């Protein structure tokens, strides 16, 4: 067999994978429409069209938020500057604030825990399930205290969290559920769009996400009053239909520009086809990786009907595979497969939490969240763009992983040769 590329052999792959962002003439056309219309910001609040708008062109942001909410099966969509902003706004609109606790998983991007902190609340971490990388409902229930006001299940990688149990526990304890669907564009739970299940959901359109305008975010909800408050918070505390310089609550300027709205409209038109392609390729790759000793594939519960596959993640169990995760990553990259280890550590280990004022005790959580700790050491992530290619691309990934297992002895041989 060909030697490992890391030690001088030919790599499995030299071609690049699909690039991201994907775009075509639609992004160009819609963006050009915005430039030429002179309507560069939304300039509408609620249904009211302000008479002072510099152009009568319809708002791209207004159209996008309506169409995206529709696609996810939510009644309302409120676009905003980022996924982080969306979390802050959704939590504050529900009345979460100083003195409150918000339960979050530790295997997620910092925003899930930063958003509660940014509005004066305290994040409380509960462990994940190793099989799905999503919040453990049992651990969620154990983390509840009289101060708990909200829970943020993350649909990690685009796989629906265990919403049956989470909703049931939240209901029994009077806790609001905010779905973090930053990875979940086009994803479903029991056929229902992610973000339309809890009291509110949030999405991100930052550059790495399955739909992007470089940056951007959106809140989904079925609750009209909540939608109104979210919109008001994003518009500096203004209210639809009320005088322009009258501000009803302390708000942010978290608006999305019309340029971003234009790009996102085009991206949305491609989402269903791309999601189907990611799902087909992920299914194929899963089958091809099955059976390689030491590769631990994640489970997809029946309720997770539509995986958005923002990330294709799997574990490398060092003992069974015969290589550490770091060796595996180094070897895989040398074979021409771009991969990463994802989160370097559980969220609570971030240096920011050394500040006692944030009220998070990392040591306590190290003991409470062993699955998150293990996931940070074992996981391998492939970006969603790799799933936008064809079956040959999946073959290359699987062949590279298989080659590493078969030739794992080369690592030891190289280490001996070097000593
Ligand atoms: C799980 C999760 N939640 C929230 C966010 C925040 O989104 P944004 O980067 O748009 O603020 C991200 C972004 O990476 C994320 O991965």
| pTM exceeding 0.75 | yes
Q: How confident is the model at residue 47 (pLDDT cuts 50, 70, 90)?
A: very low
What pairing do the DSSP bridges indicate for beta strands 217-221 and 76-80? Answer: antiparallel
Of residues 60 and 49, more confidence is placed in 60
Which of 80, 82, 83, 220 gets mutated to test ligand 1 (max ligand atoms within 8 A of its CB)?
A: 83
Residue 156 lies in a domain: yes
User: What is the share, in percent, of the chain residues with pLDDT greater than 90?
Assistant: 92
Domain tally, the chain = 2
Strands, E, within 213-301: which ranges?
Answer: 217-221, 295-297
* Ligand 1 environment, Cβ below 6 A: 82-84, 108-109, 111-112, 154, 180, 182-183, 204, 206, 217
Does residue 212 sit in the same domain as residue 279?
no
Does residue 257 sit in the same domain as residue 284?
no
Closest CA to 134 of 286, 308, 284: 308
pLDDT tens per residue, range 109-154: 999 999 999 999 999 999 999 999 999 999 999 999 999 999 999 9
Of residues 210 and 48, more confidence is placed in 210
Identify the CATH number of the domain in which residue 402 sits: 3.90.1150.10
pLDDT tens per residue, range 62-114: 999 999 999 999 999 999 999 999 999 999 999 999 999 999 999 999 999 99
Beta bridge partners of 78: 219
Q: How confident is the model at residue 52 (pLDDT cuts 50, 70, 90)?
A: very low
Answer whether residue 44 shows pLDDT above 80. Answer: no
Answer whether residue 3 shows pLDDT above 60. Answer: yes
**How many angstroms is it from 337 CA to the middle of ligand 1?**
25
pLDDT of residue 221: 98
pLDDT of residue 311: 98
Which residue has tokens 């943020």? 152
Does residue 247 sit in the same domain as residue 372?
no
Identify the CATH number of the domain in which residue 76 sits: 3.40.640.10
In our burial notation (b when 16+ CB lie closer than 10 A, e otherwise), range 26-47 reads ebeebbebbeebebebbbbbbe
| Mean predicted confidence (pLDDT) in 35-60 | 71
* Host domain of residue 260: 25-268
Closest CA to 386 of 298, 285, 273, 288: 285
Beta bridge partners of 193: 188
**How many angstroms is it from 182 CA to the middle of ligand 1?**
5
Residue 3 lies in a domain: no
Structure tokens at 75: 């009644």
Helix and strand counts by DSSP (H, E) for the chain: 14, 14
Atom number in ligand 1 closest to CA 216: 10
**How many angstroms is it from 107 CA to the middle of ligand 1?**
12
Residue 231 lies in a domain: yes
**How many angstroms is it from 83 CA to the middle of ligand 1?**
5
Closest CA to 184 of 162, 166, 204: 204
Which residue has tokens 């992610």? 194
Does residue 57 sit in the same domain as residue 197?
yes
Q: What is the CA radius of gyration of the chain?
A: 23
Residue 5 lies in a domain: no
Structure tokens at 19: 């690039």
Answer whether residue 50 shows pLDDT above 60. Answer: no
Burial (CB < 10 A; 0-12, 13-18, 19+), residue 160, is buried
Alpha-carbon gap, residue 61 to 74, rounded angstroms: 16
| Mean predicted confidence (pLDDT) in 248-276 | 98
Does residue 51 sit in the same domain as residue 88?
yes
Closest CA to 179 of 91, 99, 101: 91
In our burial notation (b when 16+ CB lie closer than 10 A, e otherwise), range 106-135 reads bbbbebbbbbbbebebbbbbbbbbbebbbb
The number of beta carbons lying within 10 Å of the beta carbon of residue 93 is 27
Answer whether residue 166 shows pLDDT above 90. Answer: yes
The number of beta carbons lying within 10 Å of the beta carbon of residue 343 is 19
Alpha-carbon gap, residue 312 to 320, rounded angstroms: 21
Which helix (H) or strand (E) element contains residue 36? Answer: helix 25-37
Contact between 102 and 152 under an 8 Å Cβ cutoff? The reply is: yes
pLDDT of residue 419: 63
Alpha-carbon gap, residue 168 to 256, rounded angstroms: 34
pLDDT of residue 92: 98
The one catalytic residue among 209, 319, 364, 403: 209
Structure tokens at 288: 């091809």
- Per the rule left: phi > 0, alpha: psi between -120 and 50, beta: everything else, 180 is beta
Does residue 207 sit in the same domain as residue 241?
yes
Answer whether residue 303 shows pLDDT above 60. Answer: yes
Does residue 175 sit in the same domain as residue 234?
yes
Residues with Cβ within 8 Å of residue 395, at least 6 apart in sequence = 288
Alpha-carbon gap, residue 91 to 96, rounded angstroms: 5
Which of 109, 117, 153, 310 gets mutated to test ligand 1 (max ligand atoms within 8 A of its CB)?
A: 109
pLDDT of residue 231: 96
pLDDT tens per residue, range 375-394: 999 999 999 999 999 999 99
Please indicate whether residue 209 is annotated as part of the active site.
Answer: yes
Alpha-carbon gap, residue 363 to 229, rounded angstroms: 37
Residue 19 lies in a domain: no
Residue 151 lies in a domain: yes
Does residue 301 sit in the same domain as residue 411?
yes
What pairing do the DSSP bridges indicate for beta strands 101-104 and 148-151? Answer: parallel
Does residue 263 sit in the same domain as residue 190?
yes
Q: Which of 222, 251, 268 is the last residue of a domain?
A: 268
Q: How confident is the model at residue 8 (pLDDT cuts 50, 70, 90)?
A: very high
């Amino acid at each position: 067999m060909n030697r490992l590329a890391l030690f001088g052999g030919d790599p499995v792959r030299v071609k690049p994978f699909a690039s991201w962002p994907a775009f075509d003439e639609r992004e160009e056309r819609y963006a050009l429409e915005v430039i030429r219309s002179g309507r560069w910001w939304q300039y509408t609040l609620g249904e009211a069209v302000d008479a002072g708008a510099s152009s009568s062109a319809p708002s791209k942001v207004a159209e996008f938020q309506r169409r995206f909410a529709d696609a996810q099966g939510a009644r309302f969509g409120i676009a905003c500057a980022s996924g982080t902003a969306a979390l802050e706004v959704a939590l504050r609109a529900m009345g979460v604030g100083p003195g409150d606790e918000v339960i979050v998983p530790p295997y997620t991007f910092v925003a899930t825990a930063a958003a509660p902190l940014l509005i004066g609340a305290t994040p409380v971490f509960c462990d994940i399930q190793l099989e799905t990388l999503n919040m453990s409902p049992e651990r969620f229930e154990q983390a509840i205290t009289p101060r708990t006001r909200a829970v943020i299940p993350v649909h990690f990688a685009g796989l629906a969290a265990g919403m049956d149990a989470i909703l049931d526990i939240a209901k029994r304890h009077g806790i609001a559920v905010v779905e973090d669907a930053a990875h979940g564009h086009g994803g479903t739970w029991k056929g229902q769009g992610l973000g339309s299940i809890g009291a509110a959901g949030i999405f991100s359109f930052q550059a790495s996400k399955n739909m992007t305008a470089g940056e951007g975010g959106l809140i989904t909800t079925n609750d009209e009053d909540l939608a109104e408050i979210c919109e008001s918070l994003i518009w500096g505390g203004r209210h639809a239909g009320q005088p322009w310089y009258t501000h009803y609550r302390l708000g942010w300027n978290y608006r999305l520009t019309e340029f971003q709205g234009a790009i996102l409209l085009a991206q949305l038109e491609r989402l269903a086809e791309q999601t189907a392609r990611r799902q087909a390729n992920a299914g194929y790759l899963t089958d091809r990786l099955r059976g390689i000793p030491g590769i631990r594939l994640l489970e997809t519960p029946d309720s997770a009907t539509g995986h958005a596959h923002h990330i294709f993640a799997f574990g490398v169990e060092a003992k069974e595979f015969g290589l550490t995760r770091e060796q595996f990553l180094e070897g895989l990259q040398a074979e021409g497969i771009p991969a990463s280890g994802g989160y370097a550590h559980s969220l609570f280990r971030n240096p920011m939490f050394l500040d006692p004022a944030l009220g998070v005790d990392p040591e306590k959580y190290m003991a409470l969240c062993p699955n998150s700790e293990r996931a940070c050491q074992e996981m391998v992530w492939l970006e969603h763009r790799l799933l936008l290619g064809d079956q040959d691309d999946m073959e290359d990934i699987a062949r590279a992983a298989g080659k590493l297992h078969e030739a794992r002895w080369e690592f030891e041989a190289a280490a001996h040769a070097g000593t």
